[in-house]
Structure 1
Amino acid sequence: MSPGPTSSRPTGTKAAAPSAATRARSQDDAIIEVTWCYYQEGMNQNEIAERLGISRATVVNYLSEARKRDYVRITLDTDIFRDHDLARRLVDRFGLQDAIVVPTSSAGADQSLDRVTRVVADWLPGLLEPGDRLGVAWGETVYRVAEAAPRVTVPDLTVVQLVGSRPAALGFAAETCSATLARRYGAHCVNLHVPLLLSNRALVEELKREPVIRMQLDAVADCNKTIFACGTCTADSHVVHTGLLDPADVDPCAERGAIGVICGRLIDHDGNGLNREIEDRMIAVTLDQMRGKDMGLLVGSGPDRARPMLAALRGGYATHIATCSETATEMLNLTENNA
């Protein structure tokens, strides 16, 4: 009787375990396969689990991971929101070039803002052209737009940080907003490498004379398009948390007419600046520089944003607006009541 087949592996040894890199590649392949089956072939989660021999919970986890990795991006045609009756009314009422209004979320103001910023992230690339110089403001709203932005290439686009650096919570800092958006669009980024607020005016003027800073400030002034929000002037607003408005000055500024904030600068009912002493110690885009752009995209939503956003429109800072239906309705009602 001839001997049976032999193995080259010595008796008693085990096959080498797959390396960490091999396991990672295997899981990546599985994530892509699950994603393809779900979004391209229209299979449900149970069918995918049966085909691939994995649990339904694993399918759910893989689909979640695919979204985190930006393998999948779910969007709605922005024309749906541009054609909304409230959007058309905003355009007609304020002489805007265009507007987007999304349905207000029943889950609350934060979810409504999330809807607005996600739609803006999809809308913005279509508003940009090769050679544009996009000025980017700061704060939570602009940060959310940047984080939600798709990875698309806008040829010869320059993204410019509009305000100097200032500590801000959760990544809302100006340099984070501009750098994130530039990275998503494959754009050249011009950061403003100075503090937003300094201790005295002489130091501001000295810094502005530095050649590198002068070049960056020229880029700020040269932007032909901007994206920004108009914040509030209350005790819990961004301008207070970042130290640009002292809590003790909230009420006195309100008495002087402060109703909104654009790039750290307070504005009144008509969009005019309050010209506080602190503004001479700031290095940032001026209110005059924010006016008269080819595009000024004003983004915001929430029950406290209607009046500030109206002030920004009256001041001539915006040509486009994106908001939720509740905020749009309130803005229109306020204008009818001359508020």
Structure 2
Amino acid sequence: MPQNSTRRSTKQISGEDIVVETAWLYYHDGLNQSEIANRLLVSRATVVNYLQEARERGYIHTKLAPEAFNTHRAALELRDRFGLKAAYILPDGTGGQDDHASRIIRGAADWLPSLLEPGDRLGVAWGKTIYDVAERLEQTTIADLTVLQLVGSMATPYGFSADVCSSNVARKFSAKCINLHVPAILSTAEIAATLRAESLISKQLDAISDCNKTLFAVGSCKPDSHVASSGVATQQELEDYIANGAVGVLCGRFIDAKGDPVSGPLDDRMMGIELEELRHRDMGILVSVGEERVPAAVAAIRGGYATHVVTNQSCAAAMMELA
């Protein structure tokens, strides 16, 4: 048989097909770019362009195994120091804060499906971090999974509300979704109590208290934190909580350095899961982005809300120093 009989001309493979063929030869058959160019009778530069086009079209999904991130020294040290079940530590890389955040978000989205099982009831918190994780999730199906919104909805400066976070996670996993159809914060404790007594709302609150796994981030108590910018707390209310020892915000509720609830003016007006109901679940998955949130993240771990942590090396090192 002539040596060039295995070559395939681009006249035989054109358009979208040649992009898929190039991706197949590179990722499945293990050919290098020069070998593919020789096979398809194109230049090596053309092969590079085809591979880039395949990535841009979403034909290629590449992941590193979780073991690359949860079995190295930093992950094991963080796990052992705080008594976690697992830690998933991303390298910082050479980019700035936005790149650090993007890596952590991508890592959480890659890891989350492997942490869920058929029949799980996953409680999902609110905030930009969780919204971004939901956006990065790949479409997959986990049988009999239920996703539950842990906190009522509110206006945010980011253009989404809490129900969007839970709905997007449910959509990506082809799961049932139970949203909490109330505002996160009400004007008076009396109105909040009345709503909690409503049959529909009462059933939704009972449902979220029965989740066995949670996905959440923690916010800081700084003036520009999400709890303030979303309108959940006024600056004066935020200062009152800080004066009482608050270092972080979890599902709209304030915690001190030990992870214990901090009492304040919002407690009776908040619609969502209680902090005690978040503790000691089968799994609490904390996605921690940014060194300014390290004290809040450590508090959440100490309080028994987190069993699994996703962060990067610099935040993990800061957590170790604080510990």
TM-score range, shorter chain: 0.7 to 0.9
The equivalent residue for 2:56 is 65
The equivalent residue for 1:284 is 272
The equivalent residue for 1:217 is 205
**1:4-37: per-residue Cα shift (whole Å, max 9, x none)?**
xxxxxxxxxxxxxxxxxxxxxx966565455445
- TM-score scaled to structure 2, two decimals? 0.86
How far apart, CA to CA, are the structure 2 residues paired with 1:272 and 1:246?
A: 22
Checking the alignment, whether the CA contact within 8 Å between 2:142 and 2:175 is kept in structure 1 is yes
Instruction: Give the one of 144, 148, 164 matched to 1:176.
Output: 164
Instruction: Give the one of 219, 222, 230 matched to 1:234.
Output: 222
- The alpha-carbon deviation at position 120 of structure 1 amounts to 1.6
Instruction: Give the one of 256, 267, 271 matched to 2:244.
Output: 256
Instruction: Give the one of 314, 319, 326 matched to 2:302.
Output: 314
How far apart, CA to CA, are the structure 1 residues paired with 2:240 and 2:269?
A: 20
- The alpha-carbon deviation at position 177 of structure 1 amounts to 1.0
Query: Where do 1:68-87 residues align within 5 Å?
Result: 71-87=59-75
**1:160-208: per-residue Cα shift (whole Å, max 9, x none)?**
0101111123355211111111111111111111111111122212212
- What one-letter code is carried by the residue in structure 2 that aligns with 1:133? R
Residues 172 and 300 (structure 1), Cα distance of their counterparts in 2 relative to 1, 3 Å cut: farther
- What one-letter code is carried by the residue in structure 1 that aligns with 2:68? I
Determine if the alignment matches structure 1 residue 324 to structure 2 residue 312.
yes
- The alpha-carbon deviation at position 307 of structure 1 amounts to 0.7
How far apart, CA to CA, are the structure 2 residues paired with 1:61 and 1:169?
A: 34
How far apart, CA to CA, are the structure 2 residues paired with 1:86 and 1:61?
A: 33
**1:224-264: per-residue Cα shift (whole Å, max 9, x none)?**
10011111111111111101121344444323212111011
Q: Which sections of structure 2, spanning at least 5 residues, go unmatched?
A: 1-13
Checking the alignment, whether the CA contact within 8 Å between 2:129 and 2:289 is kept in structure 1 is no
How far apart, CA to CA, are the structure 1 residues paired with 2:159 and 2:55?
A: 23
Q: Give the RMSD, CA atoms, in angstroms.
A: 2.5
The equivalent residue for 1:271 is 259
2:266 is paired with a residue whose SS is helix
1:292 is paired with a residue whose SS is coil
**1:70-109: per-residue Cα shift (whole Å, max 9, x none)?**
x321111111111121111111111111111111132122
How far apart, CA to CA, are the structure 2 residues paired with 1:173 and 1:44?
A: 45
1:277 is paired with a residue whose SS is coil
The equivalent residue for 1:3 is none
Q: How many residues align?
A: 307
Query: Where do 1:1-339 residues align within 5 Å?
Result: 32-33=20-21, 35-36=23-24, 39-40=27-28, 42=31, 44=33, 47=37, 56=46, 59=50, 62-67=53-58, 71-335=59-323
Checking the alignment, whether the CA contact within 8 Å between 2:19 and 2:51 is kept in structure 1 is no
- The alpha-carbon deviation at position 320 of structure 1 amounts to 1.1
Q: Which sections of structure 1, spanning at least 5 residues, go unmatched?
A: 1-25
Checking the alignment, whether the CA contact within 8 Å between 1:161 and 1:191 is kept in structure 2 is yes
- What one-letter code is carried by the residue in structure 2 that aligns with 1:196? A
Checking the alignment, whether the CA contact within 8 Å between 2:213 and 2:282 is kept in structure 1 is yes
Checking the alignment, whether the CA contact within 8 Å between 1:31 and 1:65 is kept in structure 2 is no
- TM-score scaled to structure 1, two decimals? 0.83
- What one-letter code is carried by the residue in structure 1 that aligns with 2:193? E
Q: Which runs of 4+ in 1 moved over 6 A?
A: none
Sequence identity (%): 42
Between structure 1 and structure 2, the one with the greater Rg is 1
How far apart, CA to CA, are the structure 2 residues paired with 1:182 and 1:108?
A: 31
**Greater Cα shift, 218-227 or 71-80:** 71-80
Checking the alignment, whether the CA contact within 8 Å between 1:266 and 1:273 is kept in structure 2 is yes
2:140 is paired with a residue whose SS is coil
How far apart, CA to CA, are the structure 2 residues paired with 1:193 and 1:297?
A: 24
How far apart, CA to CA, are the structure 2 residues paired with 1:158 and 1:171?
A: 25
